[in-house]
Amino acid sequence: MTARPEPPRQAYLEPHRRYHTLVHIEDCLARLAATPGLDDRERGLLVQAIWWHDAVYDPLRPDNEARSADLARQALAAAGAPEADIAEVERLILLTKGHTVEAGDRLGALMVSIDLSILGAEPAAYAAYAQAIREEYAAVPDEVYRAGRARVLEAFLTAPTLFPDPAFAQALDAPARRNLAAEIDSLRTA
C-alpha cells in the first residue's frame, strides 16, 4: 500500500481515553512489526487499519468502528489510495467490533489478534488495562459496569478461540484465559 495519509494521532489524545490511546496503537504496531511473512502491501494495509481502528472512541456509542472506518476511508481516498486498499482497511477495522474472522482470512486474523493481544499480557499489565477501561467507562454506574464487563469477558472466555492467528493463539491464549477469569472473579466479588 503506497498511500499513507497522516495518522490520526490527535484522536488518541482525547481526554476521555485511558486505554485507547497512542500507547495502544504503538503496542499494536510493535506486534505487527514482529509478525513475519507479510508483503509490503499487506503490512501497509495493517498499519493503516491499526492507526484508524480506534480513531473514533466513545465508550457509550455502539458505532465507533463504523465511524473510524469512515474516517479511514476519507483519509485514504484523499491520499489517493486505490479503492481495493481502502475497502480492505475498512474491512479490517470493522472486524475489531465483533472480533470474528472467517477461516483463511490471514490479515483479519492478524488484525483481531493484534487488537486483542493485551488480553494475554502479564497480570500487572492486564490489571492496568482493566483499570484503564473502567476509567473510560466512568460515566457508567459501578454495578452496571461490572455486570456488562463480566458478560463481555465471559463471551471471550467461552469462545473456542480468542486469537484467530495461530502464532498469537499459541503465545497468548493461556495467559489471556487466566487474565479473563481473574477479572471476571474480581467483578463478581467487588
Tens digit of pLDDT for each residue in 28-53?
A: 999 999 999 999 999 999 999 999 99
* pLDDT value of position 1: 65
Q: Does the model's pTM come out above 0.85?
A: yes
The one-digit pLDDT tens for each residue of the chain (190 residues) are 666 888 899 999 999 999 999 999 999 999 999 999 999 999 999 999 999 999 999 998 999 999 999 999 999 999 999 999 999 999 999 999 999 999 999 999 999 999 999 999 999 999 999 999 999 999 999 999 999 999 999 999 999 999 999 999 999 999 999 999 999 999 999 7
Tens digit of pLDDT for each residue in 158-183?
A: 999 999 999 999 999 999 999 999 99
Instruction: Show the domains of the chain with their CATH numbers.
Output: 9-189 (1.10.1300.10)
In angstroms, rounded to a whole number, what is the distance separating the alpha carbons of residues 94 and 13? 22
Q: What percent of the chain has pLDDT over 70?
A: 98
